[in-house]
């Protein structure tokens, strides 16, 4: 299951039908391993089929929200077929959040990087701790964050999103708020209260209206996200087979500067 045989995703539910999914690989900063993706797929599928759920909160255990894909796992057995399947699977999981009939809220603390930043972007709403930081940092190891770029560019202005993608630099929670990546920012000790305020407002509204409205919101806004994600997954898989990306990921794992070739 995991390094400690604990669930990859913890799930809780309150009396109102608000489900909280907590990514549970704190020692790995909640990196999206294959096990984590599988647990999320299962949980999201169950939520989508449960008419009594009113809202979903996605959170992270430990010191971080989510550090993106598990680079050690990705580097273990490089093959184009594996990377194509991995990024396609992750894209499908992300899209299933958007397809949920209820609002999904990211509760962000610590860091949200690469696919972790994508997870924030794909949620309908996001509340961040004031000390949270965000980045699409794959480019720092030679891997352009192609799949995160799909949702990031649908949250931020084009130039703001592209700057994050090509520099790999972190932005603060307030910058994320100003750029449109998150809705609200709260002091660390008030993060749960800020999430609850948003949840309470949502569950006070009719579920049917929210379900219809959410579906319409994305249907009229997104005309080609599935094709874009498929293209991005293929691009990212091919990129991951590039010598520079493989070296960059290995250097990251070995905690040394990458030895770029050209």
Task: Report pLDDT digits (tens) over 127-152.
Answer: 999 999 999 999 999 999 999 999 99
Among 53-57, 74-78, 231-235, which stretch is predicted with the lowest mean pLDDT?
A: 231-235
Residue 223: pLDDT band with limits 50, 70, 90: low
Residue 77: partners with Cβ closer than 8 Å, 6 or more residues away: none
- 18 phi/psi in degrees, rounded to 5: -90, 120
Supply the pTM of this predicted model: 0.89
Q: What is the CA radius of gyration of the chain?
A: 18
CA dist 115 and 136 (Å) reads 8
Q: Which residue has the higher pLDDT, 44 or 245?
A: 44
Mean pLDDT of 196-200: 98
In the prediction, which pLDDT does 238 show?
84
In the prediction, which pLDDT does 217 show?
84
In the prediction, which pLDDT does 224 show?
73
In the prediction, which pLDDT does 222 show?
65
- Asked whether residue 248 carries a pLDDT value surpassing 90, the answer given is no
Q: What is the DSSP letter of 52?
A: T
Residue 6: pLDDT band with limits 50, 70, 90: confident
CA dist 212 and 230 (Å) reads 26
- Asked whether residue 219 carries a pLDDT value surpassing 90, the answer given is no
Strands (E), the chain: 9-13, 18-23, 55-60, 104-108, 111-113, 125-129, 133-135, 171-172, 184-186
Domains and CATH numbers, the chain: 9-207 (3.90.226.10)
- Asked whether residue 71 carries a pLDDT value surpassing 80, the answer given is yes
DSSP structure string for 84-95: HHHHHHHHHHHH
16-63 pLDDT, tens digit each: 999 999 999 999 999 999 999 999 999 999 999 999 999 999 999 999
Hey, how many other C-beta atoms are within 10 angstroms of the C-beta on 260?
11
CB 162 within 8 A of CB 103: no
In the prediction, which pLDDT does 2 show?
42
Strand (E) or helix (H) holding 178: helix 173-179
CB 149 within 8 A of CB 161: yes
Residue 262: pLDDT band with limits 50, 70, 90: low
What are the beta bridge partners of residue 186? 129
Residue 177: pLDDT band with limits 50, 70, 90: very high
């Amino acid at each position: 299951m995991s390094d400690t045989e604990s669930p990859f995703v913890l799930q809780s539910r309150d009396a109102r039908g608000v489900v909280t999914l907590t990514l549970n690989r704190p020692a790995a900063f909640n990196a999206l391993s294959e096990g984590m993706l599988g647990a999320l797929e299962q949980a999201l599928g169950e939520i989508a089929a449960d008419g009594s759920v009113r809202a979903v909160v996605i959170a992270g255990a430990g010191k971080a929200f989510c550090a993106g894909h598990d680079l050690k796992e990705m580097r273990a057995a490089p093959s184009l077929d594996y990377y194509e399947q991995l990024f396609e699977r992750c894209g499908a999981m992300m899209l299933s959040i958007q397809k949920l009939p209820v609002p999904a809220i990211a509760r962000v603390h610590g860091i949200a990087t690469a696919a972790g930043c994508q997870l924030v972007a794909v949620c309908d709403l996001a509340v961040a701790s004031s000390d949270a930081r965000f980045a699409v940092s794959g480019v720092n190891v030679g891997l352009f964050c192609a799949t995160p770029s799909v949702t990031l560019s649908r949250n931020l202005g084009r130039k703001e999103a592209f700057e994050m993608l090509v520099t790999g630099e972190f932005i603060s929670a307030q910058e994320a708020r100003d750029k449109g990546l998150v809705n609200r920012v709260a002091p660390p000790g008030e993060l749960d209260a800020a999430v609850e305020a948003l949840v309470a407002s949502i569950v006070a509204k009719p579920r049917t209206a929210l379900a219809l409205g959410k579906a319409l919101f994305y249907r009229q806004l997104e005309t080609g996200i599935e094709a874009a994600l498929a293209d991005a997954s293929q691009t990212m898989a091919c990129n991951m087979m590039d010598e520079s990306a493989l070296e960059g990921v290995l250097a990251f794992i070995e905690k040394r500067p990458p030895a770029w070739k050209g």
